[in-house]
Structure 1
Amino acid sequence: MNRIFFLISLGVLAGACSRSAQVTGTEEPGMFLTDSLKRVVSVDTVRYRPVADELTLTGRVAFNPEKVAQVYPIFGGTVVEVRAEIGDYVRRGDVLAVIRSGEVAEYEKQRKEAQHRLALAHRNLHSVQDMAASGMASEKDVMQARKEVGEAEAEAERLAEVFSIYHVSGGANYQVKAPLSGFVVEKHVNPEEQLRSDDGEEMFTISGLENVWVMADVYESDISKVGEGDSVRITTLAYPEDVIAGKIDKVYNMLDEESKTMSVRVKLDNRDYKLKPGMFTQVRVCGRGTDKERLCVPSHALVFENGRYYVVTVASDDRLAVKEVEVYLHSDEVCYLSSGLTAGERVLNRNVLLVYNALNAG
């Protein structure tokens, strides 16, 4: 910054001296845009542009509900082990917790009984088939034995499916596993905690954060200014220099009873996981152009001092001058003017403040 100020001061002084040597009579020396100064500033032309209002909304990052899973206890019991904490990344099938349950113990008992009945049914079938071969049992007896085997197999398969679905690991324990890959964003369980199967509170909430939603609130007076498909630019407090481009993909056509605002949604790719659910955002909706045109300059061309706006103009002979302007509408990128300039004039739009200070000092 000091080097730039030195170059600007040097350029302004050099311009003033070189031009003053050429003037005669009563012509006063001025400050000019010299070759050295051109290396640290840039010039833009004042032109007419359709007025596009930019609406700034307050938003927040939210989970994508399509990628959220809440995990509840299947059976009541005591929490033996918790293997996941808030913020952990888990893969589908990873064990989140282990629970010891009397209900699971009952299923284990039923499974052993079913396996025992199946073994007896198979032995009985073999015995009946042998007896039928020697004429000591009828075909009806064989069919009945086969039916008993089928029923025993069905019960054993049913219980095996229960063990598979509910991740019963044997004995009285069962495992609570992640139903999808993502981050643990909520956790409401601790070791030795007593759980009930009818408890309405989830143990874990898991969310994939590769895609998130930004929900923004629109006041009633601004509803007509937004619509589906409108382009937006989103910034956050955490990354103020990163501007994320997106589009409004859904307008919720209802007002909140308390805040009297309408919500709009922007879906964003978040593969770098920078956006965290709960973050506040600033959502700038790019306004739609109107038939009304006004003179426009880059916002960087403005200098604000003592409640007034100024620009540094560049004349046809490269003479620099400070002019006061009246602002009609100001956005991050452009500024629409009410008065002070005419179309075709040139203004500085980089390092303007340093040149402005140098001119005022002179």
Structure 2
Amino acid sequence: MNPHLPPEPSDAEAQHPARAGFAARGTTIAIGLACVAGVLLTAGIAPRLEARTAQKHQVAAQRELVVSTVTATRAPSTQDLLLPGSVSSWADASVYARTSGYVQHWYTDIGAHVKAGQTLAQIDTPELDAQLQQARADEATAEANYRFASTTAQRWQTMLQTQSVSQQDAQAKSSDAAAKLATLQAAQANVARLQELVSYQKVTAPFDGVITARNVQVGALVTAGGTPGLATMPGELFHIAQTDRLRIYVDVPQDDASLVGAGTAVSVTTQQYPGRRFEASVARSSNVIDPVSRTLRVEVDMDNRDGALMPGAYAQVHLSLTTATPALELPVSALLFRPDGVTIAVVDAHDKVQLRKVTIGRDFGTYVEVATGLSPTDRVIDNPGDAIADGQSVRVAATAAPGSKA
């Protein structure tokens, strides 16, 4: 048999040539289907393998925490501390009657601006006038008795020199003259007292101010004195307040109390005058921290000659606090509040997390002053998660400019 010649067909193939052709076609189809299946299998598996590889890389990247950091800057030396204040008049007084009688006339009503010593009302005191006349008569009687007793004592002293009277009688006359003098002085004192009471018939203003209340009518009976301190203030004729200067009281928190002094710059704002600031000055403080509120009571004085502010109003007091040694500041978003205290997360040179406790100083709103636990070269993680741990590896995505966020 020649190997280069095609094989001779078998007897079955020779007898059935159609079967031979069908078998050859079946083999070709099988081979084609196998190739198609291989291609489809390759096309389906390859993307899955690529996706799985990408997923592995993504998971590995997510396991490494990506953070942004900020660097600390020096906190400002001056801070504007805003506190609520209570406006009070420079002086405030209730005016009472110092003598009993009937109101003859009143001259000022509420809202009237008066001067010190100006007459506010006139009181008619007929009984007091009669008492004064009687006291003056008693004074005249006492003066006459004293003059007679003094003359008699002098005469008896002259006769004693000539032994015309006994020394005991002369001393008795001198003692009688001294007693009459004391009686005269008592009568004079009584007259002076009644004259002073009569002078109170005119109710006058104790200082320059504005009348804020009038509780008298013509013909009303008023009594001397009153019972100040009660809610209704019985017996009060007028109420006067000095408003050309104002006292504003503020309560400074304990942390800022040491920064408030006589030279502290102060300004006052109110809702009635948006955009306007009233200049003021720190006058004095209590120098004692209130154990209940832990605040320092500070009095701020303000010129109010234009009458812009009214006593009893609510005001906002701006205190410009200055510190000689300001510390570093960070945004509040960089702070972690842990059970053991305020903490920051710092990235070291090996991109490892270091949790560090810090002490907070002044509060600037979105920024806070860090008194201890922070250096200017620290890379502090901004917006650290609560799950961040000490020693954890991180990747720094960006570093914000000093004093700002990334």
Q: Distance in 1 between the 2:218 and 2:271 partners?
A: 37
| TM-score scaled by length of structure 1 | 0.52
After TM superposition, list the pairs within 5 Å mapping 1:142-181 onto structure 2: 142-143=173-174, 146-147=177-178, 149-166=180-197, 168-169=198-199, 174-181=201-208
Deviates more, 1:150-159 or 1:263-272: 263-272
Structure-2 residue corresponding to 1:286: 320
Q: CA deviation at 1:217?
A: 4.9
Structure-2 residue corresponding to 1:30: none
Q: Distance in 2 between the 1:85 and 1:250 partners?
A: 36
Q: 2:148 aligns with which of 121, 124, 127?
A: 124
Structure-1 residue corresponding to 2:281: 246
Structure-1 residue corresponding to 2:297: 264
Q: CA deviation at 1:236?
A: 2.8
Q: Distance in 1 between the 2:241 and 2:289 partners?
A: 27
1:126-165 Cα deviation digits (max 9, x unpaired)? 8747986997996457535633541343123212331354
- Is 1:233 the equivalent of 2:267? yes
SS in 2 for 1:147: helix
Q: Distance in 2 between the 1:245 and 1:99 partners?
A: 41
Structure-1 residue corresponding to 2:81: 55
- Is 1:199 the equivalent of 2:226? yes
Relative to structure 1, the CA distance from residue 198 to residue 129 in structure 2 (aligned partners, 3 Å threshold; closer, same or farther) is closer
C-alpha contact 2:143 2:184 (8 A) present in aligned 1:
no
C-alpha contact 2:246 2:303 (8 A) present in aligned 1:
yes
Q: CA deviation at 1:278?
A: 1.7
Relative to structure 1, the CA distance from residue 88 to residue 63 in structure 2 (aligned partners, 3 Å threshold; closer, same or farther) is same
Q: Distance in 1 between the 2:149 and 2:283 partners?
A: 69
Q: CA deviation at 1:78?
A: 1.9
State the AA in 1 paired with 2:220.
E
State the AA in 1 paired with 2:75.
P
Structure-1 residue corresponding to 2:340: none
- Is 1:84 the equivalent of 2:108? yes
After TM superposition, list the pairs within 5 Å mapping 1:1-362 onto structure 2: 50-51=75-76, 53-64=79-90, 67-101=91-125, 104-105=128-129, 107-121=131-145, 124-125=148-149, 128=152, 139=170, 142-143=173-174, 146-147=177-178, 149-166=180-197, 168-169=198-199, 174-197=201-224, 199-200=226-227, 201=233, 202-217=236-251, 223-227=254-258, 228-229=260-261, 230-240=264-274, 241-247=276-282, 249-250=284-285, 253-254=289-290, 262=295, 264-270=297-303, 272-274=305-307, 275-288=309-322, 290-293=326-329, 328=366
Give identity over the alignment, percent.
19
Q: Distance in 2 between the 1:287 and 1:131 partners?
A: 83
State the AA in 2 paired with 1:120.
A
Q: CA deviation at 1:214?
A: 0.5
State the AA in 2 paired with 1:179.
P
State the AA in 1 paired with 2:217.
N
Q: Distance in 1 between the 2:153 and 2:297 partners?
A: 73
Q: Distance in 1 between the 2:158 and 2:83 partners?
A: 90
SS in 2 for 1:63: strand
C-alpha contact 1:49 1:293 (8 A) present in aligned 2:
yes
Relative to structure 1, the CA distance from residue 134 to residue 285 in structure 2 (aligned partners, 3 Å threshold; closer, same or farther) is closer
Structure 1 gaps, min length 5: 1-47, 296-326, 330-337, 344-362
| TM-score scaled by length of structure 2 | 0.48
State the AA in 1 paired with 2:328.
K
C-alpha contact 1:96 1:175 (8 A) present in aligned 2:
yes
Q: Distance in 2 between the 1:95 and 1:114 partners?
A: 32
Q: Distance in 2 between the 1:124 and 1:238 partners?
A: 76
SS in 1 for 2:201: strand
Q: CA deviation at 1:86?
A: 3.1
Q: CA deviation at 1:198?
A: 5.4
Q: CA deviation at 1:101?
A: 3.8
Q: CA deviation at 1:57?
A: 1.9
Q: Distance in 1 between the 2:218 and 2:257 partners?
A: 49
